[in-house]
Structure 1
Amino acid sequence: MKIAVMGGTGLIGSQVVEILRAAGHDAVPHSQSTGVDLLTGQGLPEALKGAEVVVNLTNSPTFDEASPAFFQTTMDNLLAAAEQAGVGHAVVLSIVGVDLVPDLAYYRAKVLQEDILKAGPVPYSIVRATQFFEFMGAVMSWTADDNTVRLPSNPLQPIAAADVAQAVADVSMGAPLRGVRNIAGPDVFPLDELGRITLAAQGDKRTVTTDDSAGMFAAAPADALIAPDDAVLAPTSYRDWLAR
């Protein structure tokens, strides 16, 4: 099966391509570096020629009020080209609880992306994942100085990027869900405690101060960042991942 992977050279995309190829599929990575631009539509017809599935792992370059326009344009271009090419399945990676945090512009933008996909002409699947282990450093950097990291106590259920890639690949190889599959890591942590675990594992002497107004996730309701009851739980624990 030929599968076009948009954003196929990134953190998740490169792993998705590797998994799909190992399973015997013709997975082709596409990105601006390969001449495909979802914002302009450049290279899309060629990238989707003969593809049975398209996986969209591209992301807005910003998390601010400009992000809805990015997802509107890129999804419109992708779905129009996919319909023209006769693609039978479109897969998008989104965020667990994305519809529960309307105060965040980026989350509103991802809801818009999902809604465009649902209303579009191509049978679809949405994979919603919790926050990646790999992004914990960035999350802490938003509210850190030389001595202290301020983090809210919201519960978080992070997941390894490798487990996300496997879940996306599994959905891509199957029939369209015409719905959502939620995936999450096996463990729930208060975000401030997760910060302490991370700093300790890295030998970082900074202290974590609990501040429920600090950072982007402070706007999230208590249940928004953890897996719903129907979620598939991935095998990799955060402590095991840190130890590796």
Structure 2
Amino acid sequence: MKIVIIGNGLIGSQLATRLADAGHDVSALGRGDGIDTTTGEGLDRVLVGAEVVVDLTNSPSWADDDVLAFFRDSSTHLLAAGRAAGVGHHVILSIVGADLLPDAGYLRAKVAQEQLVQSGPLPFTIVRSTQFFEFVPGIADAATVGDTVHATPGRLQPIASSDVVTHLAEVVAGPAQNATVEIAGPEPLGIDELVRRLFATTGDGRAVLTDPHATYFGAEIDDQLIPAPGADAWIAPAAYGTWLGSTGSRRAS
């Protein structure tokens, strides 16, 4: 099966390796390959013969207007190019609970992307994932004021990127579901706890202040508004403590 992944970062690079090992003809491409999804540049060329396209693109700017324009333009061009190339399955990676946090501009943009795919010309599967363990260091850095991290106790159910890839590869190699599926880690944890446990492992000296008004993607979350997976979600095996004990957590930090 010829599979084209647009986006070769954390997930795209791992996914390409996993699918290639399974015998698929796969490429993971980005701007360095002459592709610009916001204009459509290069898409007709790279999608020739593709049976599946996996959209793992991300906006270079998270300003509300910029990120919304990015996902709308990118999805519009990818869907049009996929239709012209005869692609039979369009897969995107989105975020669990995106529709529950309308105050977050990034998540509003992901919902807009989902809507374009759902109403678009191609058979599709939307995979909604919870936050990745690997992004906890970035969350901590974004929430740092001086030497203190202001972290919400609002809980996530985060997942290792390797587990994301495991399930995503199954979706990509399977038939289009014309539906949304969810994946998540095995345990809900407060963002403040995630950061504290990371720092205890890496030796980071910053203090962590539990702050109920600290935001996640620009929105306040609490135990009554958790971006949590539904009952039918696929639950990954790797717990946060297991990941923290691996070399992966040290590289991420």
User: Which 10-residue stretch deviates more, 125-134 or 226-235?
Assistant: 226-235
8 Å contact kept, 1:96–1:224: no
State the Cα deviation string for residues 105-125 of structure 1 (Å, max 9, x = none). 100000000000000000000
Distance in 2, matches of 1:117 and 1:224, equals 25
**AA matched with 2:49:** G
RMSD: 1.3
By how many angstroms is 1:182 displaced? 0.5
8 Å contact kept, 1:100–1:221: no
Distance in 1, matches of 2:195 and 2:9, equals 25
- Give the TM-score normalised by structure 1: 0.96
Which residue pairs with 1:163 in the alignment?
163
Distance in 2, matches of 1:70 and 1:122, equals 20
Runs of 4+ in structure 1 off by over 3 angstroms are 220-224
Distance in 2, matches of 1:153 and 1:136, equals 14
Q: Which sections of structure 1, spanning at least 5 residues, go unmatched?
A: none
**AA matched with 1:200:** A
8 Å contact kept, 1:53–1:87: yes
User: Which 10-residue stretch deviates more, 25-34 or 119-128?
Assistant: 25-34
Query: How many residues end up aligned between the 2 structures?
Result: 243
Q: 2:155 matched to 1:132?
A: no
Which residue pairs with 1:32 in the alignment?
31
State the Cα deviation string for residues 104-154 of structure 1 (Å, max 9, x = none). 110000000000000000000000000111110111112214432111110
User: Which 10-residue stretch deviates more, 219-228 or 34-43?
Assistant: 219-228
Which residue pairs with 2:249 in the alignment?
none
Distance in 2, matches of 1:101 and 1:3, equals 32
State the Cα deviation string for residues 147-170 of structure 1 (Å, max 9, x = none). 321111101111111111222211
Which residue pairs with 1:214 in the alignment?
214
Q: 2:108 matched to 1:101?
A: no
Q: 2:89 matched to 1:89?
A: yes
Which residue pairs with 1:42 in the alignment?
41
Which residue pairs with 1:186 in the alignment?
186
Distance in 2, matches of 1:81 and 1:239, equals 42
Which residue pairs with 1:62 in the alignment?
61
State the SS of the aligned residue for 1:183: strand
Which residue pairs with 1:224 in the alignment?
226
Distance in 2, matches of 1:241 and 1:232, equals 18
Distance in 1, matches of 2:12 and 2:91, equals 12
Which residue pairs with 1:21 in the alignment?
20
State the Cα deviation string for residues 50-72 of structure 1 (Å, max 9, x = none). 01100000011122211111011
Distance in 1, matches of 2:148 and 2:206, equals 5
**AA matched with 2:238:** T
- Give the TM-score normalised by structure 2: 0.92
